[in-house]
């Protein structure tokens, strides 16, 4: 058999296997996380009620996370850092996989305002490079596996395989990594994503889910007033994105500068205080979003807008203090809160108007932060009606194009 053909067959076969394994690893991680959260935040306080339980657990837990990070290193790494290492260094350290897994898990158990995507992407990238270093036929394709693995991770976590593909591909527009013909590349992504989703869904069907999916918003037909207010929604989403960058920079200059252990403890104390005052601010936000969707009229517009701002602030506190992970889930939650707030002002919280406002505010917010309009659009298909495709893409593109402020990382890279 021709060597090139054989290598391509190995690549196809292994991408399918890798996708299935990645789906299984993600399911197992989320299941352990769910069980741990249930134990720490339901079983224990029900049997041993303590005053200020949230503050005590968050502060003490964060101190232990600080000791763990001081001993083993600054993990988990943020998603951008993982992708940058794969792109620039063509390598990702997998020497201590247990540390990668535990460092990704601990902040989530503690109720940190983050999602699991950053830590899990690092774990899957590490596994891909382990395969490349230990199996001779896979060595020459290690980078390809890492890219496909990252796409599968994001696709499975967000129940949107296309989001993983667009997020990875848009990340690599300037410097191509997956050097394969277009049709072959699409086939590999699709195969791995299908295998990953299949194994994840099978395990979920057999043993139950680990992470709740984002809620599905009811279908609606935008009306004249929705179109007239579109510019307002985009503007508000951009303002919230700017607030995200401002608070990120502020936390980078304050909390992030604290000594090890004290930094994490400070973040845990803030998390506990925020959570004691407003429990909805804790965790990644997908379950809270479902509750919010069902009972939005229980909140006033000022309350919802305040929750959106505080969620963004707490997310940056958590990430910069070392209780870190991904930011997609909490940022989506914040965008939906702000969209609901503005429709309560204009329409009294009518459901159809709320869906359009939440979709476009969130799209502009994510577009401004990610600078990837297609990836944002595909991601938001997870919960918003397909008929809003054009308006979501328009808001995401506007947020990406017109938000002038840059992230601290972008500023440093430009310098």
Average pLDDT, 10 consecutive residues per value, the chain (415 residues): 62 78 86 92 91 94 94 81 69 76 91 85 75 59 62 68 56 48 66 82 82 73 87 94 94 92 95 93 83 69 93 95 88 93 82 87 93 85 85 92 58 46
What values do phi and psi take at 285, rounded to 5? 115, -10
- The whole-angstrom separation of Cα 114 and Cα 283 is 6
pLDDT reported for residue 392: 93
Residues facing 115 on adjacent strands: 326
**Per-residue model confidence as pLDDT tens digits over 267-308:** 999 999 999 999 999 998 877 877 776 665 577 889 999 999
In this prediction, residue 178 carries a pLDDT of 46
Average pLDDT value for the chain: 81
pLDDT digits (tens, 9 = 90+) for 89-141: 666 676 777 888 899 899 999 999 998 877 777 777 777 777 666 655 555 55
Q: What is the pLDDT of residue 290?
A: 72
- Coil, strand or helix at 326: strand
Q: What is the largest CA-CA distance in the chain?
A: 71
The confidence score (pLDDT) of residue 171 equals 54
Q: Omega into 120 within 30° of 0, i.e. cis?
A: no
Separation of alpha carbons 68 and 55, rounded Å: 20
| This prediction's pTM | 0.85
Look at residues 308, 256, 321, 319 and name the one whose alpha carbon lies nearest to residue 281.
308
Contact assessment for residue 338 and residue 351, using Cβ atoms and an 8 Å cutoff: no
Give the bridge partners for 326, in sequence order. Answer: 115
Q: How far apart are CA 257 and CA 237, in angstroms?
A: 29
Distance CA 357, CA 235 (A): 12
Helices (H) and strands (E) in the chain, counts: 20, 0
């Amino acid at each position: 058999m021709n060597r090139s053909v054989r290598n391509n067959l190995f690549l196809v076969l292994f991408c399918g296997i890798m996708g299935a394994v990645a789906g299984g690893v993600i399911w197992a991680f989320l299941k352990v996380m769910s069980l741990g959260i249930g134990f720490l935040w339901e079983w224990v306080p029900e049997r041993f009620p303590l005053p200020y339980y949230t503050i005590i657990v968050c502060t003490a837990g964060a101190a232990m996370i600080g000791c763990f990070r001081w001993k083993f290193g600054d993990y988990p790494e943020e998603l951008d850092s993982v992708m940058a290492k794969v792109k620039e260094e063509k390598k990702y350290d997998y020497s201590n996989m247990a540390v990668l897994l535990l460092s990704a898990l601990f902040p989530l158990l503690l109720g940190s305002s983050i999602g699991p995507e950053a830590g899990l992407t690092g774990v899957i990238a590490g596994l891909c490079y382990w395969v490349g270093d230990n199996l001779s036929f896979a060595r020459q394709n290690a980078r390809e596996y890492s890219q496909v693995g990252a796409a599968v991770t994001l696709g499975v976590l967000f129940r949107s395989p296309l989001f993983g593909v667009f997020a990875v591909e848009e990340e690599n527009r300037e410097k191509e990594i997956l050097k394969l013909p277009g049709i072959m590349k699409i086939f590999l992504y699709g195969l791995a994503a299908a295998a990953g989703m299949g194994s994840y869904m099978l395990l979920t069907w057999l043993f139950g889910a680990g992470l709740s999916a984002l809620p599905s918003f009811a279908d609606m037909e935008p009306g004249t007033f929705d179109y007239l207010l579109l510019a307002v929604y985009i503007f508000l989403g951009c303002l919230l994105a700017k607030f995200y960058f401002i608070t990120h920079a502020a936390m980078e200059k304050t909390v992030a500068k604290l000594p090890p252990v004290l930094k994490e403890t400070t973040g845990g104390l803030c998390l506990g205080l925020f959570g004691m005052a407003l429990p909805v601010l804790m965790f990644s936000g997908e379950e809270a979003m479902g509750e919010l969707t069902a009972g939005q009229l229980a909140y006033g517009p000022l309350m919802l807008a305040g929750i959106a701002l505080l969620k963004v602030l707490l997310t940056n506190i958590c990430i910069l203090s070392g209780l870190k992970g991904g930011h997609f889930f909490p940022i989506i939650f914040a965008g939906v809160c702000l969209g609901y707030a503005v429709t309560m002002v204009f329409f009294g919280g009518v459901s159809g108007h709320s869906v359009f406002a939440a979709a476009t505010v969130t799209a502009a917010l994510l577009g401004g932060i990610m600078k990837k309009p297609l990836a944002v659009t595909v991601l938001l298909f997870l919960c918003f009606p397909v008929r809003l495709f054009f308006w979501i893409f328009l808001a995401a593109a506007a947020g990406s194009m017109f938000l002038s402020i840059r992230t601290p990382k972008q500023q440093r890279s430009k310098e």
